[in-house]
Amino acid sequence: MEKVELTSEIEAVLVAYSTLQQEERVLRERKHALQEKLKAHLRGEAKRVWFPEVGGERLKISYRSVPQVEYDEEVLRSRLGARYESILEPDLRKLKAELPNLGSELAPLLGRIGSPSPEKVKEALHDKTMTADEFKGAFTKTMKEYISVAHVPSE
């Protein structure tokens, strides 16, 4: 890989960026602490929406408490046996994790839940099961750029 030059301008950009990252982390922590205080203040109140006036500005504060239930799936699976499947519904996290292994099972549903895959389009063009003319005007291609700045622990 070519060595990228670290100019003084880019160094200043990285210093500012790193400073912002640190400030964001501190702000997230402060915001979370303030949210916890607001929750404690509103917990047990009958109203779920509150409209206080603060500093000449009217605010809308919404509070709700929703039960979260987590099951020990292995225990339930062993206790319920075949009946276990009757209490299941799709879990998006599990679906995402299992997606690479579900191709053949999902195939009948792809017309409803699928989207064209650039890799499969390339494969179809290469195999000549489809032609480039069939795709003309049926897609747009843009470049999406990503940048990530992370702190590397010193050795």
Q: How confident is the model at residue 1 (pLDDT cuts 50, 70, 90)?
A: low
Strand runs (DSSP E) across 6-87, as ranges?
49-50, 53-54, 57-58, 61-62
**How much is the pLDDT for 138?**
93
What contacts 50, CB < 8 A, 6 or more positions away? Answer: 42, 60, 61, 62, 63
| Count of positions (residues) in the chain | 155
More confident residue, 75 or 45: 75
CB burial string 109-119: b at 16+ within 10 A, e below: eeeeeeeeeee
Look at residues 44, 34, 42 and name the one whose alpha carbon lies nearest to residue 62: 42
Please tell me the number of Cα atoms within 13 Å of 103 on its side-chain side. Answer: 4
- Residue pair 50/63 in contact (Cβ under 8 Å)? The answer is yes
At residue 56, what are phi and psi to the nearest 5 degrees? 80, 5
Q: What is the pTM of this model?
A: 0.64
- Measured CA to CA, the distance from residue 72 to residue 85 in angstroms comes to 14
Residue-wise pLDDT tens digits, 94-107: 999 999 899 889 99
- The sign of the CA dihedral 32, 38, 41, 47 is negative
What are the residue boundaries of the structural domains of the chain, listed by start? Answer: 8-62
Residue 151 DSSP SS3: coil
Indicate the SS3 state at residue 127. helix
Helix (H/G/I), strand (E/B), else coil: 57 = strand
Residue 153 pLDDT class (50, 70, 90 cuts): confident
